[in-house]
Amino acid sequence: MSRAALLVLADGRFPAGGHAHSGGAEPAVKEGRIRNAEDLAEFCRGRLHTTGLTAAALAAAAAHGHDPLALDEAADARTPSPALRTVARKLGRQLMRAARATWPSPELAALARARPRGAHQPVVLGLTARAAGLGPEDAAHCVAYETVSGPATAVVRLLSLDPFEATAVLARLAPELDRIAEQATAAAHGTIDALPAACAPLLDITAEAHAAWPVRLFAS
Amino acid sequence: MHLDHAQHGPAAVSADAARPDGTRRALRIGLGGPVGSGKTATVAALCRTLRDQLSIAVVTNDIYTREDAAFLLRHAVLPPERIQAVETGACPHTAIRDDISANLEAVEDLEDTVGPLDLILVESGGDNLTATFSKGLVDAQIFVIDVAGGDDIPRKGGPGVTTSDLLVINKTDLAPYVGSDLDRMAQDAAQQRGPLPVAFTSLTSEEGVGPVADWVRGQLAAWTA
């Protein structure tokens, strides 16, 4: 594996559309559940251990070489909120564009042909990692980190939270990120049906409500 | 197979001049500029002036609402299926310059659903004087400022004022009321921009957008030549 390729893929400036999404942080801020760095840490921890683990395992499985179309269906089955399924496919399509420009591969091209409107983002990410010469554990780390870095960046904009505090939250979560990535990687070596299916019902419910807000800063 | 998977070809990887089926894609023109300078009004006036001759679509990038798209819909400058809103996560300059993926999806979706198109106008959310469009997203860009925002803006420069393909100085009808010196703005703009064109507009009359529409026609002639 190339450690530098992992840095390119995990970089928050990788142009794949993530900047417009808050990972559920915008409704949580509006409803007063995130008011400061401590709340942000709890929110991120909850997201990491639920949807974070599920998404990381899907990505690890794609990087491992499981059938991406079967994984795409598995991702649908693990995403009860229609709004979040739409978001996952939209971000998957955006990532696919960036991935095919940066690490072109026949597998990415085949998935783009089969899912022109976008496959689930974690599946595309896993396949991108594969194209970049990275392994399942790298893909799992990328997705686990995105799960918490997205909300942290959004909360800096939404609450004018001190960016040093927000980054410190991410740094303190690092050991847990490693553990989740490890679990996700282990699961990726099994069958698709046995992949983790943890979810966060409140994130699903607030995502549906948020999608109907007339005025919002983030797309999700 | 899912119902939401329309089966047409995969999106182009980059901003190639040809669409995946080999046909030439629409000319893409970006409009940026500070909040309130008249970007949406310019887009609306361009659509009204050009829609009978050209097949047009618009992508809006609002900061936190869908106001600009709603304005265009309310004024019925184009049928609703020709207007798409992109959400920018509070960073309009990111969506038009650093991470153009959402905007590229929007322009390609418009070509797929309402094409063939001659022209796509991509309007940025109101931003500061440094906001410019990526060359991966648009073929040419217009920067819209107005006389009421201060007649020293052309002198101050910045990437939008100095490098845009067309600088529009809007609301010239307000100049006497806000004490803006149009001659000075023209001189300062020429100093900053060298040979790049500047258009003075007042959109209070329907012909007001004329100089911009003429410039767009010129760009389109060069694109299809």
Which chain B residues touch A90 with a CB distance below 8 Å? 102, 105
Q: Using CB atoms, which residue from A93, A100, A112 is nearest to B105?
A: A93
Proportion of chain B above pLDDT 70, given as a percent: 92
Least confident window among A159-163, A212-216, B12-16, B56-60: B12-16
CB contact under 8 A, B90 and A218: yes
Report percent pLDDT > 90 for chain B. 66
- Sequence ranges of the domains in chain A: 3-8+22-210
- What is the predicted pLDDT for the residue at B115? 87
Mean pLDDT value of segment B27-46: 94
Per-residue confidence band for B5, with pLDDT thresholds at 50, 70 and 90: very low
Taking residues B146-161, what's their average pLDDT?
Answer: 91
DSSP symbols for chain A: --HHHHHHHH-TTSSSSGGG--TTHHHHHHTTS--SHHHHHHHHHHHIIIIIHHHHHHHHHHHHT--HHHHHHHHHHT---HHHHHHHHHHHHHHHHHHHHHS--HHHHHHHHH-TT---HHHHHHHHHHHTT--HHHHHHHHHHHHHHHHHHHHHHHH---HHHHHHHHHHTHHHHHHHHHHHHHHHTS-STTS-----HHHHHHHHHHTT-SS-SS--
Answer whether B98 sits within 8 Å of A216, measured CB to CB. no
**pLDDT higher for A212 or B8?**
A212
> Residue A1's pLDDT is what?
63
Q: In a mutagenesis test of the B interface, which of A91, A97, A216 is the best target, namely the one with the most B β-carbons within 10 Å?
A: A97
CB contact (8 A) between residue A94 and residue B66: no
Quick check: B99 and A154 CB within 8 A?
Answer: no
pLDDT: which is higher, B16 or B201: B201
- Residue B15: the pLDDT is 59
Given pLDDT bands bounded at 50, 70 and 90, which one contains residue B3? Answer: very low
- What predicted TM-score, i.e. pTM, was given to this entire model? 0.87
Residues of B with CB under 8 A from a CB of A: 2, 4-11, 13-14, 63-66, 87-91, 94-95, 98-102, 104-105
Query: Is the model's pLDDT at B32 over the cut of 80?
Result: yes
* Contact residues on chain A for B7, CB-CB shorter than 8 A: 116
Query: How many Cβ atoms sit within 10 Å of the Cβ of residue B112?
Result: 15
Give me the residue from A21, A94, A116 closest to B6, CB to CB: A116
Q: What is the pLDDT along chain A (220 residues), one digit of tens a residue?
A: 689 999 999 998 899 999 999 999 999 999 999 999 999 999 999 999 999 999 999 999 999 999 999 999 999 999 999 999 999 999 999 999 999 999 999 999 999 999 999 999 999 999 999 999 999 999 999 999 999 999 999 999 999 899 999 999 999 999 999 999 999 999 999 999 999 999 999 999 999 999 999 888 899 9
Superfamily of segment(s) A3-8+22-210: Urease accessory protein UreF (1.10.4190.10)
pLDDT at A200 (0 to 100):
96
Q: Please, what is the average pLDDT of chain B?
A: 88
Q: Which residues of B touch A89 (CB under 8 A)?
A: 4
Contact (Cβ atoms closer than 8 angstroms) between residue B144 and residue B168: yes
Top CATH class, B27-224: alpha beta
What was the pLDDT predicted at B2? 40
* Residues of chain B positioned with their CB less than 8 A from the CB of A217: 63-64, 89-90
ipTM of predicted assembly, 2 dp: 0.82
> In the predicted model, is pLDDT for residue B160 greater than 50?
yes
